[in-house]
Structure 1
Amino acid sequence: MKKHIVSLSIIFINILLWGFSYPYLSNHIPIHWSFSGEVDRYATKTEAMLLMLGLLIFVYAVMILAPKLEPRKKNLALFSKTYHIIVNAMLLLFSLLNLLLVLTGLGYHVPMGSFVPVLVGAILIVIGNYLPRVRSNFFIGIKNPWTLSSDTVWKKTHRFASKMFTIAGILIAINSLLPIGNNGNIAMLALILIAVFAPYVYSYVLYRQEMGFHKK
């Protein structure tokens, strides 16, 4: 139960945040912004609260329950601490989004176009930092036929992915501070796509090399 205390505390703090702020919130709260940073979708404060708290609870439930179906439970147990750090990092990310929405609902001007990329960059850096500790499993990490069939390919791919995620996170955070408008959002998406898909290509190359070595 101890390993769930931080996660449950994060969710509880968010419930308190919405509960205490609710009477003072605007009846309609922005919940989505376009690439240009303009609000393009609103929700009632009740809908916004239920959506954001529900998202937190959903993420926590999935991250906690899904490993019970993991075929490689022994491997998952080897990085249990790292796994919960990643879970809590994701919950903190959504918590900060909750805070920004509440502040917006209270009438404060929040430049979401700048804050969100910083949060995305931060979560990529955190995940990148812990990826090398993730052991072969079917639930978290770079999972494809090549990494799952070879521990060597898994380890090398995750070391490579760690660098890609960290570099992308830093560049996205820096990029968000530059006055380059929509081009900044396009750059952010490009960096995320490269960070995600480059390790897949790399794992295939490693697997082919490993298979070629075994055939000799």
Structure 2
Amino acid sequence: MRTKRAVALCGAFVAAMFGASVLVGPRLPETMVTHWNAVDQPDGAMPKFWGQFFVPLLALGVVALVLLSPRIDPKRENIEAFRPLYNEFVVLLTAFLAGVHGVVLAVNLGYDVPISSVVFAGVGLVVFYTGRVLANAEQNWVVGIRTPWTLSDEQVWERTHDVGAALFKLSGVLAFLGAFSPRYGAALAVGPVLLSSLALVAYSYYLYEERDGTDGPTA
């Protein structure tokens, strides 16, 4: 996906979020429920203004950050090698935030929405697509498994990302399955991603130390 198209789509999603908030604003309660537990019971609320506009503002900031960050990356030419996938990920992430915002508005308008199922399905798709991006990411400072060891050695970067792509795709599938078992959805959405991230940090260090030992002087 070209960057201009990604910007246009993200802009459309963000504009739709703000527009929906304004359109239904008069029908929203003065205190909006904005957080639910694993069994869809409300456990957090915000004043109406922030309930209406927090997620749209968050989406606007995230889109601006992830679309502009490659421009200041010293290795930005490497990002261009997989920029179409990166742009698609940004659009998917924005669509996910728009979906979350739509759920918040719908529930506060009195509609019966399976909140956990929608959110965990969306998380699964985002995490799975992260795996796709990792599989194609060239060494850079913006996106990927950026540890001191992957950024110091291209082969460590490549091998870590090969494993990382598989782990994140698997984590995405598990998170998606959480949509069908909301009680365990949070564990399936967060646990595999957290464990995968920690394992990849350790794995990148192991690969770097292994190469360092191989390249060193031999007796």
Same fold flag (TM > 0.5): yes
Question: What CA distance in whole angstroms lies between the structure 2 residues aligned with 1:163 and 1:153?
Answer: 16
- Structure 1, unaligned runs of 5 or more: none
> Identity over aligned residues, as a percent?
25
- Structure 2 residue identity aligned to 1:112: I
RMSD over equivalenced CA pairs, Å = 1.9
Task: Determine the structure 1 residue equivalent to 2:4.
Answer: 2
Q: For 1:174-210, what per-residue CA distance to the aligned partner results, in whole angstroms no more than 9, with x for missing partners?
A: 133126x3x5433433212112222112212221222
Q: Name the SS for the 1:201 alignment partner.
A: helix
- Structure 1 residue identity aligned to 2:166: K
- Structure 1, 118-127 or 200-209: larger mean CA deviation: 200-209
Task: Determine the structure 2 residue equivalent to 1:214.
Answer: 215
Structure 1 segments, 4+ long, off by >6 Å, are: none
Q: For 1:105-127, what per-residue CA distance to the aligned partner results, in whole angstroms no more than 9, with x for missing partners?
A: 21112232332222111110111
Q: For 1:1-59, what per-residue CA distance to the aligned partner results, in whole angstroms no more than 9, with x for missing partners?
A: 72421221221222222222222223332111234432111123322122111111110
Task: Determine the structure 2 residue equivalent to 1:123.
Answer: 126
Question: What CA distance in whole angstroms lies between the structure 2 residues aligned with 1:129 and 1:72?
Answer: 20
Q: Name the SS for the 1:40 alignment partner.
A: strand
Task: Determine the structure 2 residue equivalent to 1:185.
Answer: 186
Instruction: Name which of 137, 147, 151 aligns with 2:154.
Output: 151
Q: Is the 8 A contact 1:164 1:195 kept in 2?
A: yes
Write out aligned runs for 1:22-101 (5 A). 22-101=25-104
Question: What CA distance in whole angstroms lies between the structure 1 residues aligned with 2:178 and 2:14?
Answer: 30
- Structure 2, unaligned runs of 5 or more: none
Q: Is the 8 A contact 2:36 2:44 kept in 1?
A: yes
Instruction: Name which of 21, 33, 36 aligns with 2:24.
Output: 21
Report the number of matched residues: 214
Residue 167 (1) aligns with residue 162 (2): no
Write out aligned runs for 1:95-114 (5 A). 95-114=98-117
Q: For 1:119-169, what per-residue CA distance to the aligned partner results, in whole angstroms no more than 9, with x for missing partners?
A: 111110111122111111111110011100111111111111111111111
Task: Determine the structure 2 residue equivalent to 1:198.
Answer: 199
- After TM superposition, the score normalised by the length of structure 1 is 0.90
Question: What CA distance in whole angstroms lies between the structure 2 residues aligned with 1:83 and 1:113?
Answer: 27
Question: What CA distance in whole angstroms lies between the structure 1 residues aligned with 2:140 and 2:198?
Answer: 19
Q: Name the SS for the 1:53 alignment partner.
A: helix
